[in-house]
Chain A
Amino acid sequence: MKIASHIEKFERLDAVRRRLDPVADTELWIWTAMTACTHLLNAALHRCGVTEEFDSFHSQVEGQYAIPDRDKGTLSEAQHRPGDLMHVDQPPVERRKPPAVERACTALKIIEDLREAHVRGNQPIADGAAGQWERAYAQCVAELSAALGISVAAAR
């Protein structure tokens, strides 16, 4: 997607995340945080030229995109170079990321890695873990916001 569209998606998802509690709403907090950060990551990767800004959406299959026909309101499938990522390094990118974006990816990976244990699985939340998740989210957003030159008050 275009950079502006990714930022708009991030803002919409972040607004929902603020209504959720990482302990009471564990599954949806994790998923919404991950989805929000992925949009912001895509915006930053497009901005720094690591990936390209296409009017296409990543599908469920790595490296496969849906291309909208805005006039007809339809989608067609295509494979092209990234483009949007589905998750950190999915699909892999060839160009080197700036250090701030690398740090954001490390923070986002912490959130992505919670899916098996706490969204698809039912492992208990360790004491203090939710605070670590919130700090990872805040760091990811702060690094990417700085890379994009936008102001986001994500931490709470």
Chain B
Amino acid sequence: MRIEDHVAKAQSIERSLARCTAADYETVIEAAMLAGTHWFNIVLHRTNVLSTEHDAMHAEFLSAHDRRKVEATAPAALRSLDDIERLRTPYVRGNMPGGEQAAARAFACLARLREEALRDTGS
């Protein structure tokens, strides 16, 4: 998808996310994953890891080759999306204690992904 379309989708999801608090941690984590993946795709397209014809669905499903390229070009973005993805099994699909702290972590990682993507676009 085109970079400007990823920006619009990420911002749309973040507007909806604004209706949630850390108490809604399952939705916060999922929204951070969804918006964060759109921000992450901007980074991938800007750094030519993937063309706009090929979007990443989940960071952990990138090929080993593409992951190594992102680790070299945008390690903070990759680490942030990986961190969000790791919260899904214990706090969205599962019921481990500490959901609100996990939501705070998801918010922080999403902010980092947004910063990385917008720095790339110069917005």
Contacts and interface: CB of A to CB of B under 8 A. Distances in A.
Interface of A: 1, 5, 8-9, 12-13, 16, 19-20, 24-29, 31-32, 35, 56-60, 66, 68, 73, 75, 84, 86, 119-122
Contacts of B92: 35
Given A13-B27, A19-B20, 16 more contacts: A16-B19, A16-B27, A20-B19, A25-B16, A26-B12, A27-B16, A27-B34, A28-B16, A28-B17, A32-B27, A57-B89, A57-B90, A57-B94, A75-B89, A120-B57, A122-B9
Contacts of B8: 122
Q: Which DSSP category, helix, strand, loop or mixed, fits chain B's interface?
A: helix
Contact of B26 (A12, A84, A122): A12
Contact of B30 (A1, A19, A20, A31): A31
Contacts, number: 85
Contacts of B94: 1, 56-57, 66, 68, 75
Contacts of B116: none
Contacts of A27: 9, 12-13, 16, 34
Contacts of B96: 68, 73, 75
Given A9-B26, A28-B13, A75 B93 contact: no
Contacts of A1: 93-95
Interface of B: 1, 5, 8-9, 12-13, 15-17, 19-20, 24, 26-27, 30-31, 34, 37, 55, 57-58, 60, 85, 88-90, 92-97
B13 to A, nearest CB: 5
